Amino acid sequence: MPNFETAQELFDELCRPFAAEEIEWRIGSTNADKTKGMALAYMDARAVMDRFDAVCGPDGWQCNYTMAGAIAICNIGVLMPSDRWIWKADGAGATDVEGEKGMLSDALKRAAVRWGVGRYLYEMDSPWVAIVQRGKSSFLADGVRKELDKVHEDFCLKAGWGLRAGRVAYSFANQVVKHFVTDALAAAELRERNAGTIAQMPVAMRKHLNDTLDRIGASRAEAAE
């Protein structure tokens, strides 16, 4: 399990926004002539499972299902930094499109929202966009997906999350650290000079960078013994 010190740190990472390409969009309400539709953002069940695997570790979370009449209840348990299991649950009924399979998937996603996964999507605008009709179904018109990706990223940036640019910058900085900070003294100096910046990083980034600097220091100490 990733090394989180508090339940709040773990929860913050579960709440972290998805990359724009991980978000799916469906059409809700449409205008009378079916040329415009309300785009509704949602997350795929696989993205939810990937998030729990990445944050909690594959052995740090679990789920099971129970039935309440025609409603499937998904129970998601997460192993806390205190070594206690905490459970949260939500449910869903059969969907019009995928029936029971869709019911289980929706229950998983709704239970995940109780853990903060994708909860921010409920706060996003649902813009009206150009659509095309194919039979009885509505689809996004060509080029609209790029507009919606921008809507998503703009919202996340406005909310103070910071997305792709921050991750790319961090990846570059981490590579610089690993290749050019080669001893304990340099690691300590970098940490001291950039304490304010490091403190403002998202939890996982901050911990990963500090772990890298710790390993550099440990390696140097072991070599001296």
What one-letter code names the amino acid at 84?
R
Could you tell me if 148 and 203 lie in one domain?
no
- Domain final residue, candidates 147, 162, 177: 162
Could you tell me if 89 and 188 lie in one domain?
no
Distance of CA 2 to the CA centre of its chain: 15
- Domain final residue, candidates 134, 162, 190: 162
Could you tell me if 136 and 34 lie in one domain?
yes
Instruction: Give the three-state DSSP class for 13.
Output: helix
- Stated pTM of the model: 0.69
Could you tell me if 148 and 43 lie in one domain?
yes
Give bridge partners of residue 64 from the DSSP assignment: 75
What is the span of the domain harbouring residue 207? 165-224
Query: Could you give phi then psi for residue 116, rounded to 5 degrees?
Result: 95, -10
Tokens representing 140?
């996004």
Q: How far apart are the two ends of the chain, measured CA to CA in Å?
A: 30
Smallest CA-to-CA distance from 62 within 80, 87, 45, 82 is with 87
pLDDT in tens, the chain (225 residues): 567 888 988 998 898 888 888 899 999 999 999 999 999 999 999 999 999 998 999 999 999 999 999 999 999 999 999 999 999 999 998 876 666 778 999 999 999 999 999 999 998 989 999 999 998 889 999 999 999 999 998 888 776 665 555 555 666 677 778 778 888 898 888 888 888 777 766 666 677 788 888 888 775 444 444
Map tokens 């703009």 to a residue.
154
- Domain final residue, candidates 109, 140, 162: 162
Could you tell me if 148 and 192 lie in one domain?
no
Could you tell me if 106 and 173 lie in one domain?
no
Which are the contacts of 91, defined by CB distance < 8 A and separation ≥ 6? 68, 71, 72, 73, 74, 107, 110
Residue 90 inside a domain? The answer is yes
> Is the dihedral angle over the CA atoms 58, 61, 62, 66 positive or is it negative?
negative
What size, in residues, is the chain?
A: 225
Domain at 96, CATH number: 3.30.390
Q: Are 61 and 79 in contact (CB under 8 A)?
A: yes
